[in-house]
Chains A and B, each alone.
Chain A
Amino acid sequence: MAMTKQQLIDLYFLDARARLIDLAAFLDRIERAEGEEDFRMTAFRRAMTELSRSNSQKARQVLHALSDPTEEPIEKAPGKGACGAWQGEVAK
């Protein structure tokens, strides 16, 4: 690590602040809208709980919270795209 905490805060705070407000606004937007949330938002909210941990592995833990935890290959690719959160065994 080449920089001190103070230097990193000076460099990244405004960018992180903007992203935090964007995230809050995204959640507000979803909550204001009609209809139901899908599995992605369930995973998203679960992943957000990783941010309050005190270790320095938050990025890795958020990625794990959004990842397929299974180990066996699936029978057939359902398509080509990824949606950003694991839907679970039922949907496969």
Chain B
Amino acid sequence: MRYIEPHGHMVSRTTDDYLQMVTAGCAAVCEPAFWAGFDRSSAQGFYDYFCQLTEHEPKRAAKFGLPHFTWLCINPKESEDPQLAAEVLAIIPQFLDKPNVLGIGEIGLNKNSRNELKVLEMHVDLAARHNQLILVHTPHLEDKFKGTKLIIDVLKNDRRIQPERVIIDHVEEHTAKLALDAGFWAGMTLYPETKCTAARAIDILEYHGTDRIWMNSACDWGVSVPLAVPHAALEMRKRGHPADWIDQVVYQNPMRFMRQSPKFILPGT
């Protein structure tokens, strides 16, 4: 089996995770910028993090033969301070030409506040001005439905944004249709507790089809499973889905979306 992990916070994971992912057939890992579990105290902290994502982590992944790509932003969980956000956004352009940077992400909303919305608009503007792909984080739990609608409104209101160059991540049964009907890609996150189980993610695929949709582990420092995607592939096989159907979801679809960036080149493809 082959698969792409399109959303994994590898700076929080161990080398054992890299080994197991590659052993399971992982062909590439893509790492959006995210919240560290604590608030960074200054833009300089983000500068160091962006160096880690664009210089150090690709080298760590390469030791396991795994191509590593990344997305840059200030995460919605740190977007309540527009001043800090503006300072962080000002340093992002100097990293956009790095060979493993695919775009701006994971941007979006967390608690659906006015400041978060303002910072989201700033990120969308940055992506549009630099012709970058966008990876969107949708809020957790009770805030997801409202937040997804607010995010889609922001994206649709900016006429420079092409929906097929945006993925709206962490969709569930109540938000998948919102993203897909608006022309965006949709991502499903496989979490043991708070997002989709593999069985539910497969239900969503059976409802909505396999075009413009992927699944990811979003493994990070919290309760998460780095092998969630290959585990879901096994579940798809148990559900009677053919090998090419599974391959489309776990490999071809992330490949098709991310190849919209000329930097997304995998060895032998």
Contacts and interface: CB of A to CB of B under 8 A. Distances in A.
Nearest to B145: A67
Nearest to A76: B113
B143 A60 contact: no
A83 interface: yes
B7 interface: no
Interface in B96-151: 110-117, 139-146, 149-150
Contacts of A79: 111
A66 B194 CA distance: 13
B212 interface: no
Interface of A: 1-3, 7, 11-12, 57, 59-60, 63-64, 66-71, 73-86
A80 B239 CA distance: 37
17 contacts: A3-B240, A7-B240, A57-B173, A60-B173, A64-B145, A66-B142, A67-B146, A67-B174, A68-B143, A73-B113, A74-B113, A74-B114, A80-B77, A80-B110, A82-B111, A82-B142, A84-B142
Given A7-B240, A67-B174, A77 B113 contact: yes
B199 A12 contact: yes
A80 B241 CA distance: 39
Prevailing SS type, chain B contact patch: helix
A29 B172 CA distance: 29
Counting from the closest, the 7 A-B pairs by CB-CB distance are A2-B240, A77-B111, A82-B141, A82-B140, A60-B173, A63-B174, A67-B145
Nearest to B196: A59
Contact of B139 (A63, A66, A82): A82
A83 B142 contact: yes
B115 A66 contact: no
B206 interface: yes
A77 to B, nearest CB: 4
Contacts of B149: 71
Contacts of B60: none
A68 B144 CA distance: 8
Nearest to A79: B111
B195 to A, nearest CB: 11
A39 to B, nearest CB: 10
Contacts of B114: 73-76
B141 A83 contact: yes
A59 to B, nearest CB: 4
Given A11-B238, A59-B203, A73-B112, A68 B146 contact: yes
Nearest to B241: A2
A63 B240 contact: no
A26 to B, nearest CB: 14
- Quick one: which of A3, A11, A82 has the most chain B CB within 10 A? A82
Contacts of B110: 77, 80
Nearest to A87: B142
A76 B115 contact: yes
A66 B146 contact: no
A13 B116 CA distance: 42
